[in-house]
Amino acid sequence: MNSERVQDLGEKIVEVLKSIYDPEIPVDIFELGLIYDVMVSENNDVKILMTLTSPNCPVAETLPVEVEEKVKVIEEVKNCEVEITFDPTWTQDMMSEEAKLELGFL
């Protein structure tokens, strides 16, 4: 698979991630910095490494499933696996400038 196709698919995945919001914070999970890595294999299997704002996050059970299901809807994606990690622990510093602006931190 050429890198251009991977990049296109990566952009589609990011678009989907930007449509998923943390229910407690009015900012999408991508801009919040909850997505640590998106890996696409040669046969279009996707693995997403993400975190939550805290281990006790009320959507700890449902948010990873939502991410997985929405990414799987992308036509080119063969399979999607979401892995949750707390290493490194999420902090407000991981938010994009856009998210910080939206939440009044700038």
pLDDT of 49-88, one tens digit each?
999 998 888 888 899 999 999 999 999 999 999 999 999 9
* pLDDT reported for residue 26: 87
pLDDT of 17-57, one tens digit each?
999 998 888 899 999 999 999 999 989 999 999 999 988 88
* pLDDT reported for residue 68: 97
Cβ neighbours of residue 30 closer than 8 Å, sequence gap 6 or more: 14, 17, 18, 20, 96
* pLDDT reported for residue 22: 85
* pLDDT reported for residue 4: 81
Q: 95: exposed, middle or buried (C-beta count within 10 Å: 0-12, 13-18, 19+)?
A: buried
Residue 1 in this model has a pLDDT that exceeds 70 = no
Domains of the chain, earliest start first? 3-91 (3.30.300.130)
